[in-house]
Amino acid sequence: MSTAGQVIRCKAAVAWEAGKPLSVEEIEVAPPQKNEVRVKIHFTSLCHTDVYFWEAKGQNPLFPRILGHEAGGVVESVGEGVTDVQPGDHVLPIFTGECKECPHCLSEASNMCDLLRINTERGGMLHDGQTRFSKDGKPIYHFLGTSTFSEYTVVHVGQVAKINPEAPLDKVCVLSCGMSTGFGATVNVAKPKKGGSVAVFGLGAVGLAAAEGARVCEASRIIGIDLNPNRFEEAKKFGCTEFVNPKDHNKPVQEVISEMTGGGVDCSIECTGSTQAMVSAFECVHDGWGVAVLVGVPSRDDSFKTHPIHFLKERTLRGTFFGNYKPLSDIPGVVEKYMKRELELDKFITHSVPFLDINKAFEYMLRGEGLRCMIRMDA
């Protein structure tokens, strides 16, 4: 392309300060360096993680910064040594990566790449530690190696999944974070059998993706647990068959679920990050074969306590990261599931705004409205 090797001037939504509205303005994006790819972003969506770091809660603040990590785009140019993708390829930038060389990448059991696993504090690129974004000669920091709230971004080649060019980017881009995390927690880790029972704790976007996974696995009972009863009607679209609000009962919710199911569910997926919900999710699975999977991220100093007898009665407690998907190897296949109508994504996208109105997406999320807001970069 004519812009290859040149600095590109484009619009980006810059977070200059914690909690202050993003400012859409012109920035400069440098060419990709060794093992880097420059991507033109077509669609991006807002995730709770973006809001968390925008608010600068519980971590070292790093500003100015370009947030964003759920997106779809097209490769504009590539840096030295890049052979896996080329200009024109359709890709999903992903907040974690796959170097294909470390012990984790070589293991079939893990997706936690030593080189490219999530790093929330890194503000520059791996190659040289420098940013590829600037304004008036001053650096603007990267976020999760993706920074998709920009018309153009630079990403390590191990963090871009090449996908079917026929796949609609405004739909499949949600697979680059939350939807794959919840869906994969069910289908890859919990693995419910056809006709089995599944409990999902937390009916936000990730929890509903976990419920969608249970629906695809043909579970017969999918029990949604949430403190907000307004979420129950929406959750029916994702396969939930029953609902429990812990506030409606004067006993622990794990006891309620055990009574409902004659001893406990086959699988549970915890998607809230609450340690109380984690304990409930573990203790509500059936002895002998029950599997509980933790997805939600707790606060830094959290811990929880459960009696060892629950383990001795052959319950299993597992954790998962990004649904146990390897970004480059597995995500293209998940896109194909959508293309074959084996997986529904459209129902996750409840709002849409033009890029200039990106702050509306933050308002929707802060008010708890909808699941995913699609941000149209060309509008």
Is 232 found in the same domain as 249? yes
Amino acid (1-letter code) at residue 172: V
Of the residues 321, 337, 353, which one is the last residue of a structural domain? 321
Query: Residue 334's pLDDT is what?
Result: 97
Query: Does residue 329 sit within a domain?
Result: no
CATH number at residue 209: 3.40.50.720
Lowest mean pLDDT among 160-169, 200-209, 248-257, 365-374: 365-374
Could you tell me the pTM of the whole model?
0.94
Q: What is the DSSP letter of 186?
A: I
Nearest to 29 by CA among 17, 20, 18, 41: 41
The β-bridge partners of 72 are 43
Indicate if 99 and 203 belong to the same structural domain: no
Specify burial of residue 355 (Cβ count, 10 A radius: 0-12, 13-18, 19+).
buried
Whether 244 and 308 share a structural domain: yes
One domain for residues 60 and 209: no
Q: Are residues 166 and 260 in the same domain?
A: no
Question: Does one domain contain both 172 and 191?
Answer: no
When the pLDDT of each residue in the chain is averaged and rounded to a whole number, the result is 96
Q: Domain of 117: which CATH number?
A: 3.90.180.10
Total number of domains in the chain: 2
Tell me the C-alpha distance between 201 and 204, whole Å.
Answer: 9
Structure confidence at residue 194 (pLDDT): 98
Asked whether residue 237 is assigned to any structural domain, the reply reads yes
Q: Which residues are catalytic?
A: 47-49, 69-70, 99, 102, 105, 113, 117, 177, 372
Same domain, yes or no: 129 and 160: yes
pLDDT of residue 247: 96
Q: Of the residues 306, 321, 336, which one is the last residue of a structural domain?
A: 321
- Examine residue 328 and state whether it is found in any structural domain, yes or no: no
The domain containing residue 261 runs over which residues? 182-321
Asked whether residue 292 falls in the same domain as residue 372, the answer is no
The model's pLDDT over 320-379, given as tens digits with 9 standing for 90+, comes to 999 999 999 999 999 999 999 999 999 999 999 999 999 999 999 999 888 999 999 986
Report if residue 330 sits inside a domain: no
Q: Quick one: average pLDDT of 2-27? A: 95
Q: Are residues 67 and 211 in the same domain?
A: no
Q: Which of 49, 38, 26 is nearest to 205 (CA)?
A: 49
Per-residue pLDDT of 218-262, as tens digits, reads 999 999 999 999 999 999 999 999 999 999 999 999 999 999 999
Q: How far apart are CA 54 and CA 61, in angstroms?
A: 9
Is 72 found in the same domain as 27? yes
The verdict on residue 20 lying in a domain is yes
Q: 51 and 170: one domain?
A: yes
103 and 121, same domain (yes or no): yes
Residue 339 belongs to a domain: no
d(CA 23, CA 326): 34
Does a structural domain hold residue 37? yes
Whether residue 340 lies inside any domain: the answer is no
pLDDT, tens only, 123-134: 999 999 999 999
Q: How far apart are CA 223 and CA 308, in angstroms?
A: 25
Helices 275-283, 253-261: inter-axial angle, 10-degree rounding: 30
